[in-house]
Amino acid sequence: MTFIAPDIAEEFPDLQLHARTLEARSGPSSPELRERLRVLSSRFRGAQAIELRRQPIPHAYRIFFRHIGLDPDEHHTPVEALALERLKAGGFPSRSVLDDAITLAVMETGVPVWALDADRLEGELGLRPAERGERLGGGEYAHDLPAGRLVLADDAGPVGVLFGALAPGRGVGPRTTRIALLALQVAGVPDIHVEEALWTVADILAEEG
């Protein structure tokens, strides 16, 4: 179950946070998965990157970015950030099964996907504004959050900044055995694209597991 804080839901009635939890681990990608990234890299070149922001789904997230105070030309949407990385690196680099699966899902659907260690979550997970004095993470690596900044949070507090960093220790690590996948749906994005994004990541994790 997920929630959207009432004030956010009132301002963005079409906003939905989708979640899916599965038994899975990450690790090095297989040659087959790395080949899928290579093929995706060969299909996606400069012309496609320029055209990307004009496509309906990436454009919908650009609009949402502006509504929440983020300039998408400076703070890139997830799909545009990946596209820019591909152009700079000459391809989509393989990092891990999970990272590669998310890259494929985001590039193929335009829908942002995040992953958390499901066993480190406490209670219900949702989207809400940060409260005054809240911090992201704990201990020496924690840092202050601006009041009102949208965060992903569970019952224990913020687990990540929306379209920003995750709290230390909340992401998927070597000991993770259960992964919580999250996808944010904004106005103008059909359900089927969100479902495909989550299914793509889950399917790859199952194949590589």
Q: What is the pLDDT of residues 124-147, one digit of tens each?
A: 999 999 999 999 987 767 788 999
Q: What is the pLDDT of residues 80-112, one digit of tens each?
A: 999 999 988 889 999 999 999 999 999 999 999
125: exposed, middle or buried (C-beta count within 10 Å: 0-12, 13-18, 19+)? Answer: buried
DSSP letter string, 27-90 = -SPPHHHHHHHHHHHHH--HHHHHHHTTSHHHHHHHHHHHHTT--TTTS--HHHHHHHHHHHHT
Cβ count within 10 A of residue 46: 10
- Could you give the CA distance from residue 52 to residue 208 in angstroms, rounded to a whole number? 29
pLDDT at 140: 67
Residue ranges and CATH numbers for the domains of the chain are: 2-208 (3.50.40.10)
- C-alpha 62: how far from chain center: 15
Computed over every residue of the chain, the mean pLDDT equals: 94
Q: How many CA atoms lie within 13 A of 127 on its CB side?
A: 22
First to last CA, the chain: 25
Q: For residue 125, which amino acid is it?
A: L
SS3 label, residue 25:
coil
pLDDT at 181: 98
pLDDT-above-90 percentage for the chain: 86
pLDDT at 43: 85
- Could you give the CA distance from residue 71 to residue 66 in angstroms, rounded to a whole number? 6
Q: In 3-state terms, the chain is what percent helix, strand and coil (to 5)?
A: 40, 20, 35
Higher pLDDT, 53 or 120: 120
